[in-house]
Amino acid sequence: RSMAMISAMFPAGNKTMGCLSIISSLSFFLLFLVHASAQPGSGLIPTAVPKGSKNSVSALLVFGDSTADPGNNNYISTPFKSNFAPYGKDFPTHMSTGRFTNGKLAFDFIASYAGLKEFVPAYLDTTLNVAELMTGVSFASAGSGYDPLTPRLSGVIPLSKQVEYFKEYISKIETILGPEKTKEHISKAVCIISAGTNDFVVNYYTVPIRRRMYTIAQYQQFLVENVHEFVKSLWDLGVRKIAVLGGPPIGCLPVVITLKSNSGGCIDSLSAVVRDYNKLLQEDIRALHRSLANNKTSKIV
């Protein structure tokens, strides 16, 4: 059955840290992958996707910000990098990789669950082999966002450029599989988009440019429209299984608490802004799903 939901909705007053909201959203993604890849007669949650099976997930393609960047920022000129200690101290190699975490990203776990690979590599990694390309990569860039101004503030890769890299990726796959098999390969891939936090934290509430242009309600709608167009651009390139991650409670992010909280606790008013944004996003994605995903193999959630 088709699904239409945003994965990171959270109840009023939730004081869960932003990173935990992303991890908790894994359950929704796992259910999404079950719908995308489970075989008739199989168990509810398969441990791996059978290679070559009719409905198997061919690849995991990831777009977004630091929640999804495994190291693309290592290859560009930006201060937004994490390729140094203590980042990576709990990664299997105990070395920093460019991931903004002490270990794996949520999407590494998703790729492992889907039976694709243990880690999702950065697309800009020049050492990638054919097998790594085939099973998926991340185009995400830490510091990016749906608002084109957000990546400019940080000197990182905008979503528009991430789409250009995806087009380049498709061309590389075509040289291996040919046009028709590449089309099938992309249609069986699962695409996950994780962005939006920087638009509020780094952009709207830190730099006055957008606040002078938009009320917060107008800015929320502006972001939703940009998400809509981004999802549509991926759909037009042949992606048929797309998951959009909603925003976390930004009022509970450590950086926000440190810089803006007088009490040392979460700022509920800021988290409420993202709750409202998530509701708008959910409604728009549901409508987009109804208009585009008109068969059992196509899903936008």
Would 264 be classed as within a structural domain?
no
pLDDT on residue 296? 61
**132 near 117, Cβ under 8 Å?**
yes
Domain membership flag for residue 32? yes
The total number of structural domains in the chain stands at 1
What is the percent of the chain with per-residue pLDDT over 90, rounded to a whole number?
75
Q: Phi/psi at 12 (nearest 5 deg)?
A: -60, 135
Q: In one letter, which amino acid is 76?
A: I
CATH number at residue 143: 3.40.50
Tell me the pLDDT tens digit for each residue of 43-88: 323 333 344 444 489 999 999 999 999 999 999 999 999 999 999 9
| Residue 272 counted as domain residue | no
Question: Do the Cβ atoms of 197 and 67 come closer than 8 Å?
Answer: yes
Q: Which residue in the block uniquely carries the two structure tokens 């299984």? A: 241
DSSP string, 262-292: SSSS--HHHHHHHHHHHHHHHHHHHHHHHHH
For the beta carbon of residue 296, count every other beta carbon within 10 angstroms: 10
For residue 5, being part of any structural domain is answered with: no
Distance (Å, whole) CA 295 – CA 30: 20
Question: Domain range holding 38?
Answer: 18-248+280-300
Q: What value does the mean pLDDT of the chain take?
A: 85
pLDDT for 173-195, tens place per residue? 999 999 999 999 999 999 999 99
2, part of any domain: no
> Which range, of 48-62, 232-246, 282-296, averages the lowest pLDDT?
48-62
Statement: residue 168 has pLDDT above 70: yes
For residue 100, what pLDDT is reported?
92
In sequence order, the 6+-apart residues with CB closer than 8 A to the CB of 123 are 72, 137, 138, 139, 165, 169
In a domain, 262, yes or no: no
273 belongs to a structural domain: no
**Residue 126 within a domain:** yes
pLDDT grade, residue 2 (50/70/90)? very low
